[in-house]
């Protein structure tokens, strides 16, 4: 019987076997070790490497059959047999893969955005060095980001000085601990189950793993305490945590490695079972390990990409799409950031002839784009940007190395500066014009800086003014309450047997001109009793934090500061005479961020101070400040990156700290 010719879609090794029973089965390639579905090659490609013939024939006989659809199982037919490929031929009723669309869009993007915001640097090739430990064994999509390297790149200087970006990062740091963006070495996402059984890719069925690697230790148990919704689970002698909804799980491997399971917990549990034994997938060897941002796709069965399209999204791309349908089996794109920006693109093809044809087509498209620029001159009226884009496009290099097509180019720091200088002044977002003020007190409302939209500027300034006014009203009511009762209200009222009933906000109502609402509460019943719960919808505007322009609901963003050493300690009265640090140096109320807001009548939901390491998750305004209502009735703001320690010092009433507001302001 004549030998059967096979080709590994991962390394393109061609080999012959004598046993026809291997067809339709998943077999290991003796060259690269990757498994693939055995399919007979056409004779025109029969140029196998005889070195693998005998080794392959022996090893393929006992391999398990490939997975089959239910209909195929009933008939006994294999969907992967030669001439019966799902997704091939583009005929009616056959499913198609989205791989070539992704590949085509990315490669076309390299050419079209050349005059825009990114450039390309050379692709190193060779074996990938990206650590893929814990990723699913059927990973087909990889996204890798070297976070600290990207953040520290010279081209990111404007982003680093952007107050809005820093405000968001400050909140994230407050939520997870002392880890900052500079402490995140990398984030690696691997997604599998995309092209299962030859069906059309369905991301809803895809399951993945994201691995976060840090340069400093993070106490996972402390992080978990801040997210009470997490549910502890056990698997293989290891503990991990589930988010409600059965969609996300997290495993703290050690102090510097965190693994997230996406779309269910089975991928996470398999990662636990693996023990980190596999750190490399040969089908992703096209990745450049020096890239700081990587996107790569390589299906387990690259044959699924064949004939995915009958019509290109643009007539100019029809020849390219046709070639990709025929030859593409995977691709990778990567970015390098320094003072300039680079991007590298690589497409893995099924043979060298296909690689050369795709290279020629890409060069034709590049030439056509340049000719169109020459004909039209300035595109959209932007002459300077068009000219710069043409320079970058002309610098793009397309090359082949065997079965790999590479596209590379670069935008230098000088070109980036030229591009920025050519943009219209006075419009858009200009993140590089200086940092936020370190401190804003109750009597100052400087307008937002570095934001080109005057409407947005006015809106954000108004939100901060409104929030400060709310805090002033709350603190004034607090003092009126103290004048009447000889103390500030307790954080919440209790029943005779010590059960929590109603929040302090309810008991403050008579001092906020809300006496009628106060009378509707049954003070001896809990907040969610049949009588009290309907009153949630009647929350006074003063308890509504306007940060972000959110509509008023039934949750408040203003919380008392409670805990040991604070003004509001469980079992103790909060009185002015006990504040030995001074009322102007002691905080009573904090405006918190949206996720920490709570039903305004619910007791026991205030901010809890547990000691010097407590993270203050305040609501960050446009200039990166937290707003506090102080015991003397004033409102002050402190920048979340303040280095004087004032944020922690004002939380306690008798810590003995000396707070120099002038020093805080100067910083």
**Above pLDDT 90, what percent of the chain?**
26
How confident is the model over 571-608, as pLDDT tens digits? 899 999 999 999 999 999 999 877 788 899 999 999 98
Query: What does the pLDDT read at residue 383?
Result: 59
Residues 452-478 have a mean pLDDT of 79
Nearest to 423 by CA among 388, 385, 454: 385
- Asked whether the predicted pLDDT for residue 161 surpasses 60, the reply is yes
Q: Which range among 13-27, 161-175, 530-544 shows the weakest confidence by mean pLDDT?
A: 161-175
Establish how many alpha carbons lie within 13 A of residue 488's alpha carbon, considering only the half-sphere containing its beta carbon.
Answer: 33
Query: What does the pLDDT read at residue 38?
Result: 78
- Asked whether the predicted pLDDT for residue 323 surpasses 80, the reply is yes
Query: What does the pLDDT read at residue 378?
Result: 54
How confident is the model over 23-70, as pLDDT tens digits? 777 677 776 666 777 777 654 333 444 344 333 333 443 333 333 333
- The pLDDT-based confidence of 412 (bands split at 50, 70, 90) is confident
How far is the C-alpha of 659 from the C-alpha of 581, rounded, in Å? 9
SS3 content of the chain, % helix, strand, coil (to 5): 35, 20, 45
Higher pLDDT, 371 or 183: 183
How confident is the model over 204-219, as pLDDT tens digits? 556 788 999 999 888 8
Cα end-to-end span (Å), the chain: 85
For residue 256, the Cα-to-chain-centroid distance in whole angstroms is 18
Query: What does the pLDDT read at residue 565?
Result: 92
Query: What does the pLDDT read at residue 648?
Result: 82
- The pLDDT-based confidence of 21 (bands split at 50, 70, 90) is confident
Query: What does the pLDDT read at residue 488?
Result: 95
How far is the C-alpha of 369 from the C-alpha of 382, rounded, in Å? 16
- Asked whether the predicted pLDDT for residue 109 surpasses 90, the reply is no
Query: What does the pLDDT read at residue 174?
Result: 61
Query: What does the pLDDT read at residue 422?
Result: 61
How confident is the model over 419-432, as pLDDT tens digits? 666 654 433 333 33
How confident is the model over 380-396, as pLDDT tens digits? 445 556 676 777 777 78
Please, which residues have CB within 8 angstroms of residue 493's CB and are 6 or more apart in sequence? 500, 501, 502, 506, 507, 523, 603
Query: What does the pLDDT read at residue 1?
Result: 55
Contact between 286 and 332 (Cβ < 8 Å): yes
Contact between 231 and 245 (Cβ < 8 Å): no
Contact between 5 and 48 (Cβ < 8 Å): yes
Average pLDDT, rounded, for the chain:
74
How confident is the model over 348-363, as pLDDT tens digits? 888 999 999 999 998 8
How confident is the model over 110-131, as pLDDT tens digits? 333 333 333 222 223 334 468 8
- The pLDDT-based confidence of 667 (bands split at 50, 70, 90) is very low
- The pLDDT-based confidence of 96 (bands split at 50, 70, 90) is very low
Query: What does the pLDDT read at residue 7?
Result: 78
């Amino acid at each position: 019987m004549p030998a059967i010719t096979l080709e590994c879609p991962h390394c393109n090794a061609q080999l012959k076997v004598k046993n026809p029973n291997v067809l339709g089965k998943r077999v290991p390639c003796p060259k690269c070790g990757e498994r693939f579905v055995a399919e007979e090659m056409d004779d025109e490609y029969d140029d196998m490497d005889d070195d693998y013939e005998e080794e392959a024939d022996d090893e393929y006989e006992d391999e398990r059959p490939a997975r089959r659809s239910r209909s195929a199982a009933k008939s006994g037919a294999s969907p992967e047999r030669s001439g019966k490929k799902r997704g091939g031929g583009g005929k009616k009723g056959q499913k198609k893969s989205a791989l070539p669309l992704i590949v085509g869009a990315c490669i076309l993007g390299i050419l079209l955005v050349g005059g825009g915001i990114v450039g390309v640097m050379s692709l190193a090739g060779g074996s990938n060095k990206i650590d893929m430990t814990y990723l699913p064994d059927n990973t087909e999509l990889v996204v890798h980001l070297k976070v600290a390297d990207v953040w520290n790149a010279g081209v990111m200087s404007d982003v680093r000085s952007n107050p809005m970006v820093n405000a968001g990062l400050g909140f994230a740091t407050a939520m997870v601990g002392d880890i900052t963006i500079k402490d995140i070495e990398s984030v690696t996402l691997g997604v599998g189950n995309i092209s299962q059984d030859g069906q059309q890719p369905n991301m809803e069925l895809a399951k993945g793993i994201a691995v976060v690697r840090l340069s400093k230790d993070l106490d996972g148990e402390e992080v978990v305490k801040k997210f009470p919704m997490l549910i502890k689970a056990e698997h293989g002698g290891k503990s991990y945590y589930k988010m409600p909804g059965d969609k996300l799980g997290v495993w703290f491997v050690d102090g510097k490695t965190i693994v997230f399971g996406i779309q269910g917990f089975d991928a996470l549990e398999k990662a636990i079972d693996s023990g980190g034994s596999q750190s490399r997938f040969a089908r992703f060897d096209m990745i450049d390990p020096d890239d700081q941002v990587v996107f790569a796709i390589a299906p387990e069965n690259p044959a699924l990409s064949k004939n995915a399209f009958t019509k290109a999204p643009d007539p100019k791309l029809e020849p390219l799409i046709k070639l990709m349908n025929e030859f593409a089996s995977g691709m990778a794109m990567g970015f390098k950031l320094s003072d300039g920006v680079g991007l590298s693109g690589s497409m893995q093809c099924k043979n060298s002839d296909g690689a050369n044809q795709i290279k020629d087509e890409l060069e034709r498209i590049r030439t056509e784009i340049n000719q169109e620029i020459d004909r039209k001159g300035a595109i959209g009226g932007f002459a300077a940007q068009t000219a710069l884009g043409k320079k970058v496009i002309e610098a793009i290099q397309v090359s082949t190395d065997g079965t790999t097509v590479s596209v590379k180019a670069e935008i230098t720091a000088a070109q980036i500066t030229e591009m920025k200088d050519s943009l219209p002044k006075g419009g858009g977002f200009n993140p590089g014009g200086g940092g936020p003020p370190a401190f804003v007190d109750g009597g100052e409302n400087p307008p937002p800086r570095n934001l080109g939209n005057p409407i947005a500027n006015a809106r954000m300034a108004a939100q901060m003014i409104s929030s400060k006014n709310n805090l002033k009203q709350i603190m004034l009511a607090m003092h009126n309450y103290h004048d009447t009762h000889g103390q500030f209200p307790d954080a919440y009222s209790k029943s005779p047997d010590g059960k929590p009933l109603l929040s302090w906000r309810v008991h403050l109502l008579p001092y906020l001109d809300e006496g009628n609402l106060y009378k509707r509460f049954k003070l001896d019943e809990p907040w969610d009793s049949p009588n009290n719960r309907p009153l949630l919808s009647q929350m006074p505007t003063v308890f509504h934090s306007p940060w972000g322009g959110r509509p008023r609901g039934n949750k408040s963003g203003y919380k008392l500061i409670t805990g040991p050493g604070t003004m509001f300690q469980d079992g103790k009265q909060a009185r002015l005479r006990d504040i030995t640090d001074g009322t102007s140096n002691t905080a009573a109320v904090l405006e918190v961020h949206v996720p920490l807001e709570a039903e305004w009548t619910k007791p026991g939901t205030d901010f809890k101070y547990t000691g010097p390491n407590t993270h203050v998750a305040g609501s960050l305004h446009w200039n990166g400040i937290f707003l506090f209502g102080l015991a003397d009735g004033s409102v002050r703001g402190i920048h979340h990156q303040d280095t004087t320690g004032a944020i922690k010092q004002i939380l306690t009433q008798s810590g003995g700290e000396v707070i120099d507001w002038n020093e805080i302001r100067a910083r």
